[in-house]
Amino acid sequence: MAAEVASSNQSVDRALSVLKVFTGGRAELRVSDVAKATGLGLSTASRLLATLEAAGFVDRDPVSGLYRLGLDTVSLGGAVLNAHPVHREARQVAQNLAAELGLGANVAVRRGGRLFYLLNFEGRQSPRSFVLAGQHNPLHATGLGKSLLSGLSAAERRDLLPADALAAYTPHTITTHERLDTEIAAATARGYAAEIEELALGRACVAAPIRDGSGAVVAALSVSGPLSVIDLGTREPALANAVIEAADSISVGLGYVGPVLEVAL
């Protein structure tokens, strides 16, 4: 019995490793690509892909023979998002914000040492040709990430992100914990974080934390776009107010009632 369970677990692990290969950036893959990425043999990779195809989780192009993720994965993703409390509370707020400002509106949560996008809406002045939901980005190089990190102490941030994890993506990226501490302290004091070309040149964002009923930072909301459109030099105060108000609205929907004040006896 134990051997059967171990074999079953191994099959599940292998099938999941195959599915995860398709999240690496390439939309279509050959069997040999999957085998190389997972370390599986060609016959094993082919068999797993055939099983996943029969289940609707991958599709095979009949002409090229290439595999891509199947539409049934969308059903799973939709079910996950619809059940997530932050997504439920944030979806309409973020959509309204994107329409009002003409910028991208994004909501993310922290998963380990990276941020995970729950949703995004693109405004008319900040279009994208791809969906951000489900993608990851570094915490230290984004406004969303700084807002998420504001819920942790300096010691907790160091445990979460070793010094070698603070990679430079542009010349403007923060790459030391000392600078990150200063940036997060300033963001906490004013209620929002800003990011200018720290992850990608030519782009900027303004972000604020989202809290749940316990007061913990559980997510973050940002507006983002090209530098020429977001124009933080003149728009930062207005954008910050809009983002803070929207994040607070989501927090209230999650049960947050504001900071608890200690009463002196």
Cα distance between residue 239 and residue 231, in whole Å: 10
Q: What is the mean pLDDT of residues 43-70?
A: 91
Percent of the chain with pLDDT over 70: 92
Q: Higher pLDDT residue, 26 or 221?
A: 221
Report the pLDDT value the prediction gives residue 129, as an integer from 0 to 100.
Answer: 62
Taking alpha carbons only, the member of 239, 139, 129 closest to residue 198 is 139
> Could you tell me which residues come within 8 angstroms of residue 85 by beta carbon, excluding any fewer than 6 positions away?
212, 254
193-196 vs 203-211, strand pairing mode = antiparallel
Taking alpha carbons only, the member of 177, 228, 180, 221 closest to residue 204 is 228
Cα distance between residue 18 and residue 41, in whole Å: 12
Inform me whether the pLDDT recorded for 264 exceeds 80: no
Domains in the chain (CATH in brackets) are 2-70 (1.10.10.10), 84-253 (3.30.450.40)
pTM of model > 0.75:
yes
Cα distance between residue 16 and residue 37, in whole Å: 13
Tokens linked to 44: 């094993």
In this structure, which amino acid lies at residue 246? A
Taking alpha carbons only, the member of 104, 138, 96 closest to residue 120 is 104
